[in-house]
Amino acid sequence: MGKVSVVGVDDGHYAIKVVLENGTTFSVPSRGRAGRHMISWQSDEAGLYKTEEGHDFTVHEHLEGTDDTRFADYPRSPLNRVLVHHALRKAGLSGKDVSIATGLPVSYYYLADGQRNDALIHAKQENLRKKVSSGGQPMANIVKNVVTTEAIAAYFDQLIDMDGSPSEQFETLNDSVVGVIDIGGKTTDCAVIFPGGQQVNTERSGSNDVGVLSLYSAIESRLRSQFDLDNVPPRIIEHAIKTGTVKLSGQVEDVRELLVREKENLAEQIMAGVRTKIGSGKDLDSVLFVGGGAIVMEDQLKKYFPHHRFAKQPEFANARGMFKIAKYVFGNEGE
């Protein structure tokens, strides 16, 4: 075995976020579909995968009709395994030995009684031990997989820097009760973390099944209705969210009002779930927003907690935290 690279892999329902040891980040859309659905003029079969069990998958950022990742067994599914390997490939790790840290939502990682869900954690590790191939091309060799908790990993990211030294906000966070709200693709995770960062208030932590993918679905529906569309590819929705416009029949259409309305609706849905976990949050020293939703709906989310904090590059906060946990907490331990 050669040099083992430590990698943070936030294997989410919307995108797989990867963080390398040098701090380089990658975000690869979680868009895969069972079967072979592309023809390429190249011979390397990029985007075409076969699992150890013999199942074919196609992965591509512009692929339409992709399999919905919002199902309970996603963390231990062949689809998840293929998407993780595709992201590692995009990150330049083909043929390399890697020690990764992945994540589970809070309510998946912990059982109702606060105990770790070891059965699911081990199933997730076992899933990524199985092989994936792509036309004879080298794949990353996962030699170790530490499964962490989303939201809590993002909090850990705020405590230490990439080199393992305490961050600028370490003293403040370490002495505070912090609420973490992680808005991902399928879920919104909440965690209330006590000073020192070693204990979590399980009664005020958990997950709700609403996330950014709900916004995508709502926008798709509104665009179909407003412009009489029979097909709304993901790239059109993403462009709308980024720019407030869509290009249809060669004409640019302004959809900013539509977007604001749908973002407000989703933010209220998310906060309704958050309030069932952490309440008003007035007793917390700060509330940290992370995840892709923290970018998309920052303006809508700010008003709910005046003592809010937004992580730098919030979409990568979990992946950075996972890297740091793998490197500095579990670096010398086995799975």
Answer whether 83's CB lies under 8 Å from 59's CB.
yes
Task: Name the token pair of 86.
Answer: 């595709």
Position 196, amino acid: G
Single out the residue of 140, 137, 138, 139 nearest to residue 42, CA to CA: 137
Q: Is the pLDDT of residue 15 over 90?
A: yes
Alpha helices in 56-117 (DSSP H): 78-90, 106-109
- For the chain, give the percent of residues with pLDDT over 90: 89
Q: What percent of the chain has pLDDT over 70?
A: 96
pLDDT digits (tens, 9 = 90+) for 90-140: 999 999 999 999 999 999 999 988 899 999 999 999 999 999 999 889 999
Q: Are 97 and 143 in contact (CB under 8 A)?
A: yes
Radius of gyration of the chain (CA): 20
Average pLDDT of the chain?
94
CATH architecture of 212-310: 2-Layer Sandwich (3.30)
Please tell me the least confidently modeled range out of 96-100, 199-203, 329-333. 329-333
Does 2.40.50.140 match the CATH number of domain 5-173+313-329? no
- What are the pLDDT digits (tens) for 255-284? 999 999 999 999 999 999 999 999 999 999
For 60-101, how does the pLDDT look when each residue is reduced to its tens digit (9 = 90+)?
Answer: 998 888 999 999 999 999 999 999 999 999 999 999 999 999
Provide CATH 3.30.420.40 ranges for the chain.
Answer: 5-173+313-329, 212-310
Q: Are 153 and 321 contacting, i.e. CB atoms less than 8 angstroms apart?
A: yes
Per-residue b/e over 234-265, b at no fewer than 16 CB within 10 Å?
A: bebbeebbeeeebeeeeeeeebeebbeebbee
Phi, psi of 276 (to 5 degrees): -70, -20
